[in-house]
Amino acid sequence: MKSSIYLFRLLLLVFLLPVVYVNADTVLLYCNLNTNPENALLPKTSVIPDLYKTTTNLKPGTSQVPPTIILTVDPFLSSVALLKWTTSDPGLQGDYIVQRYTLADGWVDIATLPFSTVLAYNDVITFPYCNPTDFSYRIHFLSASGLDDAFSLIVKPSSPLSDLTTPENVSNLLVSVGPPMLLIWDRITNDSIWRYDIQRTVDLNAWGPPIGSATAAERNFWDANAIPACESAFKYIVTTIDRCGNHSAPDYENNYVQTIKLDVPKPGPCDKSAKLVWNSYKNMPGGLSGYTVYRIDGITSSFKIIDLSDTSYVDTYNFQDGVTYLYSIGARDINGQYSTVSCQVGWTYKGNTTPDTVYITQVGVENNSYINIKYYFSPVNSVDTLVLERSDDGGANYHVIDTLKSPAMQQSYFNDTTADFNAQSYCYRLVAIDKCGNSTNSMNTSKSVWLQCASTETENNLDWNTYETWLQGVAGYDTYRILNNESVTATIVNSGPSAISYSDPLSGYDQTKMACYWVEAKENAGNPYLQNAISKSNTCCVLKDAVLYMPNAFNPEGKNKVFRPVPEPLFVDTKSFKMTIFSRWGQQLFETTDIVNGWDGTVNGQFTPVGQYNYLITYKSLEGKDYTKRGSVLLVR
């Protein structure tokens, strides 16, 4: 069977021996069994040496006929030779060696393909064949047995070929903001790359000429001319140029890399948050995993705030006035091998000036007409509105009684003209509102001193509540007295900080005169907001109770001729005096408003009988207090 196959191959070869196939794209060169392939129909200017010196298709020392290989070569785009071949024995095991010939290099093995593969090969012409070059090709079959080796005839493409191939683009391109900008990529290691050109733009429709180049041995580029570096998102593409001057063809619309431009507008004085926005990073090698927000607060080094996938973030931070804050955005790949970072963007925070101290320095009754509330706040210009609140129930509930807009002075006062300071004590507090609407309560509440007076026959009793609240506490209370609104004021006692009462004995002054008192609370020394603070109480005035004594008998003809008060009444409003005389059976006999002349024992000019008579007297004290006195008197003669 095997000898029949060999006989068939021999007959086929003899039949095809004189035939030459020529067409526009392929030149097939066949030689007979005794012809050298170098002399087979080559152009006169071409000399192709046969390195293998094949003079016969028969295996030396055998009668076997090797397989017949028919090769075609088509030129493509003047830079690629498309090789296809067939074999008379496709099942024969072995390797096909693709060989190429030039005058400069002779025959060169350019590829080895197994017998089981597709019998085709594309020879892409590369450096050093930069100019059109004549190439010739043949297929050398090396059989596995070593008994069936064979060559195709030599085929020359119909036109010269040269290196017109577009070189590959760089991979894993990455850009970071320095400044200057730093571009990094994976270097292409084949020998055809001559240099890398770097292009930059801000507008995708305005790619300009290269801004710089890197050699084939380099893998980075510093761009110091992208100015201002932090105010634009600069886009970059790195193109390659091979040794034949061919340029790569990147996708300018999709394959660029872009610096991260971070925008962090300075927050307003009332805004306690920074709103960060940045552009997405394109074409991160290995795929984008996300972003990291970093912040520097002017004191500590950069530290991570948050990892996220969005391109915006609101940093709610307690910004401090006068501190510089810087932000940057880092982008990272999925595997943690690649990262890039934006510029640091920030500002020195100038926030709203808020009050750090709001303090009521003292509360006191002024001229017994109104309550004066003094205050202090700091720093200056930190308060937009100052609100005075008062409690009428000991501090349980407060209501607004006055508002001061844009107080210019750190130390000033309110006057509360609506308080009934003679009837009770009042609690006060302040609420400071800054320009952002934030409220700050005063660090203390203050309670006015309410003085109450009462009189007995032997003394005047004074009672008051303690003053609240001073930073340094109450040092003591001074009690003052003045008579009938005279100009001379007497300090009658200095009491300690816990004193809340005093009894003024009825001595050393004219008791018929009205005595008025007030108390002044004093603060201990050392208050940084106001020295020598005092709180004055209301003025409390007292008169002795009206004293009116009536005799129990009188003799119109004797020593006591008139029935009237004896001795002279004390602290009685004589104009209010009224006396009515009744018989034992209740019959009204006499009535008078004359406290001096009284009743002379007559009724309508007639003497009344000796006996017991009843009386009713009404009068008022000098303070206007009403009194009623009832009794009986014995009339004798």
- Considering the domain boundaries, does residue 467 fall inside one? yes
Percent of the chain with pLDDT over 70: 89
Q: What is the pLDDT of residues 431-440, one digit of tens each?
A: 999 999 999 9
Average pLDDT over residues 455-482: 92
Reduced to 3 states, what is the DSSP secondary structure of residue 489? coil
Average pLDDT, the chain: 87
- Average pLDDT (344-359) is 91
Residue 24 pLDDT > 70 = no
Domain boundary among 421, 443, 465: 443
Q: Which of 98, 108, 96 is nearest to 133 (CA)?
A: 108
- Clarify whether residues 514 and 576 are in a common domain: no
pTM: 0.59
User: How does residue 622 score in pLDDT terms, banded at 50, 70 and 90?
Assistant: confident
C-alpha distances (whole Å) from 361 to each of 46, 141, 367, 465, 475 are 115, 111, 19, 18, 15
pLDDT of residue 457: 72
Summarize the confidence of residues 167-186 as an average pLDDT: 92
Q: Is residue 547 in a domain?
A: no
The pLDDT value given to residue 19: 33
Furthest C-alpha separation in the chain: 197
Does 574 share its domain with 473? no
34-82: pLDDT as tens digits:
333 333 333 333 334 444 444 344 555 444 688 999 999 999 999 999 9
**Do 559 and 538 contact (CB within 8 A), yes or no?**
no
Strand partners, 71: 85
CB under 8 Å to 179, separation ≥6 — which residues? 224, 226, 227, 229, 230, 343
Query: Tell me, what's the pLDDT at 569?
Result: 83
Task: Name the band, by pLDDT with cuts 50, 70 and 90, for residue 301.
Answer: low
Q: What is the pLDDT of residue 572?
A: 84
Please tell me the predicted confidence (pLDDT) of residue 1.
Answer: 36
* Mean predicted confidence (pLDDT) in 473-481: 95
- Let me know whether 103 and 27 are in one domain: yes
CATH code of residue 213: 2.60.40.10
- In sign, the C-alpha dihedral spanning 557, 558, 560, 563 is negative
Shared domain for 611 and 534, answered yes or no, is no
Distance of CA 279 to the CA centre of its chain: 19
Q: Are 612 and 581 within 8 A, CB to CB?
A: no
What domain count does the chain have? 6
Residue 619 sits in a domain of what CATH number?
2.60.40
End position of a domain, from candidates 381, 410, 443: 443
| Predicted confidence band of residue 23 (pLDDT cuts 50, 70, 90) | very low
- State pLDDT tens for residues 603-614: 998 999 999 999
Residue 530: CB atoms within 10 Å: 18
Residues 418, 459: one domain? Answer: no
* pLDDT the model gives residue 62: 47
Provide the pLDDT for residue 413. 95
Query: For residue 244, with 0-12 CB atoms within 10 Å meaning exposed, 13-18 middle and 19 or more buried, which class applies?
Result: buried
Q: What is the mean pLDDT of residues 1-28?
A: 35
pLDDT above 60: residue 105? yes
Q: pLDDT category, 314, cuts 50, 70, 90?
A: very high
The residue with greater pLDDT, 63 or 494, is: 494
- Residue 7: the pLDDT is 37
Beta bridge partners of 111: 98
* Cβ within 8 Å of residue 75, ≥6 positions away: 25, 81, 82, 157, 158, 159, 161
Confidence at residue 299, expressed as pLDDT on a 0 to 100 scale: 64
What tokens were used for 67?
A: 């397989």
In 3D space, the residue among 499, 526, 356, 365 whose CA is nearest the CA of residue 440 turns out to be 356
Q: For the chain, count helices (H), then strands (E).
A: 1, 48
Are 448 and 519 in contact by the 8 Å Cβ rule? The answer is no
Same domain for 146 and 23: yes
Q: Apex CA 278: angle with CA 277 and CA 281, to 5°?
A: 155
Does 166 reside within a domain? no
Q: Which pair of tokens denotes residue 165? A: 């191939």
Answer yes or no: do 90 and 193 share one domain. no
In a domain, 81, yes or no: yes
User: Within a domain: residue 85?
Assistant: yes
Q: What is the pLDDT of residues 159-170, one digit of tens each?
A: 999 999 999 999
Residue 505 pLDDT greater than 90, yes or no: no
Q: Are residues 427 and 487 in the same domain?
A: no
CB-based contacts of 222: which residues, under 8 Å, 6+ apart? 178, 180, 181, 182, 183
Q: 611 lies in which domain range? A: 553-635
Asked if residue 244 and residue 285 are part of one domain, the reply reads no
> Which segment of 114-128, 253-267, 272-286, 489-503 scores lowest on mean pLDDT?
489-503
- If asked whether residues 147 and 21 sit together in one domain, one would say yes
- Same-domain check for residues 44 and 127: yes
Question: What average pLDDT score do residues 394-399 get?
Answer: 96
**Residue 512 forms part of a structural domain:** yes
164: left (phi over 0), alpha (psi -120 to 50) or beta: alpha
Q: b or e along 516-526 (b: 16 or more beta carbons within 10 Å of the residue's beta carbon)?
A: bbbbbbbbeee
What does each C-alpha distance from 212 to 114, 200, 497 come to in angstroms? 46, 10, 86
Token readout for 506 is 């009825």
Q: How far apart are alpha carbons 339 and 288 in whole angstroms? A: 9
pLDDT at 29: 34
- Which residue type, as a one-letter code, is found at position 387? V
Which of 125, 157, 189 marks a domain boundary?
157
| 300 found inside a domain | yes
Q: Using one digit for the tens of pLDDT, what is the confidence trace for 110-126?
A: 999 999 999 999 999 99
- Do 40 and 116 belong together in one domain? yes
pLDDT at 75: 95
Residue 360 lies in a domain: no
